[in-house]
Structure 1
Amino acid sequence: MQLGLIGLGKMGGNMAARLRDKGHDVVGFDFNPDVRDVDSIAELVQRLEAPRVVWLMVPAGAPTAATIEELAGLLAPGDLIIEGGNSHYVDDRRRADELMDKGVHYVDAGVSGGVWGRENGYGIMVGGDADDVARAKPVFEALTPDTGGGYVHAGGVGAGHFVKMVHNGIEYGMMQAFAEGYELMAAADIVDDVPGTFESWREGTVVRSWLLDLLANALEEDPELEQLRGYAQDSGEGRWTVQAAVDHAVPAPAITAALFARFASRQEDSPAMKVIAALRNQFGGHAVTRTVDDPSQTLRS
């Protein structure tokens, strides 16, 4: 089928390539003139045959909102927008209602697979009306793994991004567990081969996974992880997952702790731990490390 694709970065560009490999006609737009097929979103809409299908792979938030607003003024009744970024599911529902007033249909699609998706296929989690989803099914099938699986029509509008949000929250927890296991083995004087241990877990164990494969690859390239800084950003879905857990009174301690661990990674010198150190000094005379004049100076009260 024919598809317009807006956003040809690391994810969108590889998705366009995979779709073309599968025989689909992709008209792509990006602000980078080196990768786009048309010079504007208006030209992209003109190039597509009605009824049109346009897939967005742009950053969530203001960029997505602005792109949808522009498309709403260009598309015709019966056209379909697929929002493939990481939008908040609440925004999906509002946008779908606003677009339907113009006769434009809306589907939300959570996409997982990262930079490996072109080769291995993507996980696609879709929310929307059954007829709209069926219309775009050939594209979903082309993007998912050749071996089968990797696709779900999770529910109505918003469901695709909701389950992708939960997926990413689970990912936070899994990554944190591997990270803590690494630090514990590295700190202990009993384990001589930490990278080899993770490598051995890739086969036959209950923790084998693609994330474990990626960690083993990273440790093979840099066994001591000396080229990296212990800083981890969060992209928003972890926060939304924790908020959704609060909204629905669902306990999610592992995901919540993993999110807070990322916050802690960004602190050069934790104000909270300064309070802990000060209190320990006050009630027990524990050592206090002064950081203003001489970071190595330790005073005892």
Structure 2
Amino acid sequence: MSDQTAHPEQHGNDPVRHLGLVGLGKMGGNMRTRLREAGLEVTGYAPDPTTTDVETLEDLVAALPRPRTVWVMVPSGDPTRQTVERLGQLLEPGDLVIEGGNSRWTDDREHAAHLAERGVRYVDCGVSGGIWGVTEGYGLMAGGDPADIERALPVFDALRPEGPREEGFSHAGPVGAGHYAKMVHNGIEYAVMQAFAEGYELLDKTDVVDDVATVFAGWRRGTVVRSWLLDLLVRALEEDPGLTTVSGYAEDSGEGRWTVIEGIENAVATPTIAASLYARFVSRQEESPAMKAIAALRNQFGGHTVRSTRPGSAEQVAESAREGAAAEGEPTGPA
């Protein structure tokens, strides 16, 4: 293990010059690269021996000058919780933890309270940019004490896109505000993606439009819907016209759900975001129980044909329902 005394000390409010980074996956690994290219010293830790700079979390802490700053970039939930708890045991008063994963904002308050018992500072930071952040920069939304934000500005400036700071970085408020802002950002992202997806399906299905990919590409400049998400959709269509190699199964990582819940808690209607979230739920069903119930009900009250799971039996089911409805004097019209 490294000797902590071999490193020069920093004063508590000095800007960070050497960062510890826990988690070197697709996002964390790219962030390490961008930080180093900006001239910051980074010591990274991950269980994968092919990517880590040190063997243990203890080694990471020992490699950093006091007061230490450690950025946590691991999956939300238990992995983040366990990492923060372990850092609470290893770090000292005046050290700072920045949590940059997709944690729920309420978790941040728990993390901050836990670390405060040992005098360790805490900042939460929502990070947007995905795999492109290493070259394009990351959109950052931070929550925490102004002094802690000021201390970490060299890190934020290295990660954010080039240009005015306020266009790629925001200090959203106290602890929890960063992840709250990122949660709402992702809820909006869900809705925008769903709108593009529905437009794509309609254009693809009609025989009026010959080249859907060209239409989307033509929207990239001069239109009110131009955006990076549109650019990425055009790229996807260029790589795979018709999206024939992609399954229609779409996961959600939690932020959309939390946004809808927050809307309910605050009596704010979020119908577009909610609909986009529900569309993802539907995408995971090979057979929808809800739609089966609707088909059965239409058959019962209107005698409408049902596509039975038994081959060749659909018309028999429909005819039986019609006879029953006629005998009871029920309407058999469309619905």
Q: Which residue of 1 aligns with 2:297?
A: 279
Question: Which residue is equivalent to 1:28?
Answer: 44
TM-score normalised by the chain length of structure 2:
0.88
For residue 13 of structure 1, report the CA deviation from its aligned partner. Answer: 0.3
**Are 1:166 and 2:184 counterparts?**
yes
Over the matched positions of the two proteins, sequence identity in percent amounts to: 60
Aligned to 1:104: 120
Further displaced range: 275-284 or 16-25: 275-284
Q: Deviations along 1:65-118, whole A, 9 cap, x unmatched? A: 010111100000000000000111011012112211110000000000000001
Match of 1:231 in 2: 249
Hey, what's the Cα distance between the residues in 2 that align with 1:191 and 1:282?
39
Distance (whole Å) between structure 1 residues aligned to residue 162 and residue 314 of structure 2: 60
Note the alpha carbon deviations across 1:171-201, whole angstroms, 9 max, x for none. 0000000000011111112111111110100
Among 79, 82, 93, which residue is 1:77 paired with?
93
1:109 alignment partner, SS class: strand
- 2:104 alignment partner in structure 1: 88
State the 1:297 CA deviation.
5.8
Tell me the equivalent position of 2:263. 245
Residues 1-301 of structure 1: pairs in structure 2 closer than 5 A:
1-148=17-164, 149-291=167-309, 293-294=310-311, 298-299=314-315, 300-301=318-319
Cα drift, residue 147 of structure 1: 2.5
Please provide the CA RMSD for this pair: 0.9
2:265 partner amino acid: D
AA matched with 1:33: P
2:241 and 2:301 mapped to 1: Cα distance?
42
Question: Per the alignment, in what secondary structure is the counterpart of residue 242 of structure 2?
Answer: coil
Amino acid at match of 1:220: E
CA distance in 2, matches of 1:139, 1:74: 22
CA distance in 1, matches of 2:163, 2:242: 35
Structure 1 ranges of 4+ moved more than 4 A: none
1:298 deviation in Å?
3.4
Choose 1 or 2 for highest CA Rg: 2
Native 8 Å contact 2:75 2:101 kept in 1: yes
CA distance in 1, matches of 2:203, 2:135: 33
Say if 1:297 and 1:29 are closer, same or farther in 2 by CA, change over 3 A. farther
2:98 touches 2:125 (CA, 8 Å); kept in 1?
A: yes
Q: Distance in 2 between matches of 1:234 and 1:130?
A: 32
Distance 1:221 1:26 in 2: 35
Deviations 1:28-58 (A, max 9, x none): 0011110110011010000101100000000
User: What TM-score comes out, normalization by structure 1 length?
Assistant: 0.98
CA 1:297/1:194 → structure 2, altered by over 3 Å: closer, same or farther? farther
Listed one character per residue, the Cα deviations across residues 137-162 of structure 1 (whole Å, up to 9, x for unaligned) are 01000101113321000000000000
Alpha-carbon distance between aligned partners in 2 of 1:31 and 1:111, rounded to the nearest angstrom: 22
Distance 2:314 2:226 in 1: 44
* Distance in 2 between residues matched to 1:7 and 1:297, nearest whole Å: 56
Count of residues in correspondence between the two structures: 299
Distance in structure 1 (CA, Å) of the matches to 2:290 and 2:237: 32
Structure 1 pair 136/213, CA: closer, same or farther in 2 (3 Å)?
same
* Cα distance in structure 2, aligned partners of 1:203 and 1:222: 22
Shift of 1:283: 1.3
Q: Is the 8 A contact 2:96 2:123 kept in 1?
A: yes
Distance 2:86 2:264 in 1: 35
Q: Quick one: which amino acid aligns to residue 282 of structure 1?
A: Q
Distance 1:82 1:121 in 2: 18
Does the CA contact (< 8 Å) of 2:97 and 2:120 recur in 1?
yes
Looking at structure 1, the residues matched to 209 and 103 of structure 2 have their Cα atoms a distance apart, in angstroms, of 43
Which ranges in structure 1 are unaligned for 5 or more consecutive residues? none
Q: 1:51 to 1:218 in 2, by over 3 A?
A: same
